[in-house]
Structure 1
Amino acid sequence: MTPALRLQNLHGYYGKSHILQGVTLEVGQGEIVTLLGRNGAGKSTTLKAAVGLVTPERGVVELEGRDVTGRAPYQIAAAGLSLVPEDRGIFQLLTVEENLRIAVRKGSPWSIRDIYRIFPRLEERRSNGGGQLSGGEQQMLSIARALLNGPKVLMLDEPVEGLAPIIVEEIVTQIRLIRDAGVPILLVEQNLAVCSQLADRHYILELGQIVHEASAAQFRSDPETIDRYLGVKA
C-alpha cells in the first residue's frame, strides 16, 4: 500500500547551516508515527520542509504517492498535508466558532459538528474569543482548524508541551479519535509517555539524520537506545 506520507533523502538549510541531512521516513495509512530527538535535532524543520515552509535543497516529499516537493505551502496544504505548528496560530480576536468557520474547506469530510463531537470543550467555549482560551483549549482549536481542511495527513508539532496532565490526557484521547477517523498522523513530541501511548512506530532524529526506527513494542523494550539518543531514562 502506498504510504500516506513519504520523505525521501530530505536536505534542508537555514542560511548556510545544513539542518536536514538526508531525512527519510514514512507514515502509513492509519498510523500514528512519532519523530523524536533532542532539542535542535531538526524535528520541527522536518515538518516545515514537508509543507514547504523550508524549501528542501534535495530529496522528495510524496503525499499518497504524489510528488509535492518544492511547491508553495498553500499548494501543499490544498493537496492535503496539514501542519499544526508549535505556536498554534489561532486568531485571538475571533471567537472559537469564527476561528472554525473560516477554516471550513469546501469538500472536506469534516464539519463543525464533527469537531464539536471530538472537542466538546470547544463547543462549550464557542462564543469565547481565541485569546480567552487556556493553552490547552487553544491547542485543541488549532488542531480542529487543521481538520476542517480535510487533511490526508496531519502533522502535530509539540501538541502537549507545557499543558496540565488532565489536558494532556484529553488531547491524547482526541488524537486517537482523529486517527480512528482515518487521518494518519506524524507527531513531534518530547513527552515520551504520550508517544508510547499513541504511536505505532517511532523514528529518532539526531543532527538532521534518522538514526533509529522502531515499532511501538521494540521501542518500549529498548530503554538503552532511548537513553542513548534522547538522554532520558525510560
Structure 2
Amino acid sequence: MTALLEVENLHSYYGKSHILQGVSLSVKEGEVVTLLGRNGAGKSTTLKSIAGAVTPARGRVSLGGIDLAGQPAFRIAKAGVCLVPENRGIFSLLTVEENLAIACRKGAAWSMQDVYAIFPRLEERRRNGGGQLSGGEQQMLSIARALLTGPRLLMLDEPVEGLAPVIVDEIVAQIRKIAAAGVSILLVEQNLAVCTALANRHNIIELGRIAYQASGPDFIADSDARDQYLGVKA
C-alpha cells in the first residue's frame, strides 16, 4: 500500500507553548492508524494541524503527494481531509437529515443512502432534531456527515468517549465498514480495545513527539510499551 498521508517533522504552537515538537507519521491507502498518548501529549493538536484548524509553524503534511501544510482549512477539506472533532459539532436545531444535507457534495463518492445503510439509526431518526439524539447517535451523525464530504482521509477524535459499551460496539462495526469501503482513517482514542480491534498500525505521542510505532500484532504483544507510554496494563 502506498502512503496517502505523510506528516514529517510537524511543529505547532498555541501562543508560546510548543505543543508539537517534530511529529512524523503516515497513513497508507485503506489503512486504519491510531495516534495514542496521555492527556495533553498533543493528539488533538496533531489532527487539528493536519486539518488546518491549527497552522503548523513548520513541517510537511502531504495527501497523495500534495503539500497541504499551512493551507487554509477549506482547501485542506477540499483536498479530501475531514476531521470529526471530539465535540461532534452537529447542529442541534436542524434535523438529522438537514445536518446531513448541508454536507452533501456534488459528485462525492458517498450519498445519503450510503450513510443510511451504515447508520440505520440515523434513517430511523432522520426527522428528529440533532439535539434530541443520544450521545451515541450524535457521534454517528457527525461521522456520517463527514463521509458525505467524500473524504480520502477521515480523522476521528475520541469517537466512543463516554458511550455505553453496546453503542461502542455498534460504532466500531460502523468504522470497520467505512474502512472496508476504502476510506483511510487516523484515529485518536483512549479505549485500547477499540484501537486494537480496528487499527493496522499504532503511534504513541509523548511530549509532542512520536515515541513509539508498531504494527497491530506487535502492539498487542508489547505490554511493557503500553504500560510505559500509556500507563495501562491492557
TM-score (normalizing by structure 2): 0.99
Question: Structure 2: which 5+ runs fail to align?
Answer: none
Q: Which residue of 2 aligns with 1:33?
A: 33
Deviations 1:29-85 (A, max 9, x none): 111000000000000000000011111001001011111110100110011000000
Per-residue deviation, 1:3? 1.0
CA distance in 1, matches of 2:75, 2:99: 21
CA contact (8 A) 1:21 1:208 kept: yes
Provide the secondary structure at the position in 2 that maps to 1:145: helix
Q: SS state of the match for residue 138, structure 1? A: helix
Q: Which residue of 1 aligns with 2:186?
A: 186
Instruction: Quote the offset at 1:106 in angstroms.
Output: 1.1
Distance 2:121 2:41 in 1: 34
Q: 1:207: Cα distance to partner?
A: 0.5
Q: Secondary structure at the match of 2:162?
A: coil
Query: 1:210 maps to which residue?
Result: 210
CA RMSD in angstroms comes to 0.6
Q: Is the Cα contact below 8 Å between 1:2 and 1:65 reproduced in 2?
A: no
Q: Which residue of 2 aligns with 1:146?
A: 146
Counterpart-to-counterpart distance in 2, 1:120 and 1:64: 32
Moved over 4 A (4+): none
Partner Cα distance (2:119, 2:2) in 1:
30
SS at 2:3 equivalent: coil
If the length of structure 1 is used for normalisation, what is the TM-score? 0.99
Q: Which runs of 5+ in 1 are unaligned?
A: none
Q: Distance in 1 between matches of 2:25 and 2:31?
A: 13
How far apart are the structure 1 equivalents of 2:208 and 2:107? Answer: 37
Q: CA deviation at 1:171?
A: 0.3
Residue 9 (str. 1) matches residue 18 (str. 2):
no
Q: How far off is 1:145 after superposition?
A: 0.5
Corresponding residue number in structure 2 for 1:120 = 120
What one-letter code is carried by the residue in structure 2 that aligns with 1:10? L
Amino acid at match of 1:147: L
Pairs within 5 Å for 1:1-234: 2-234=2-234
What is the CA-CA distance between 1:107 and the residue it aligns to? 1.4
Partners of 1:142 and 1:118 lie apart in 2 by 13
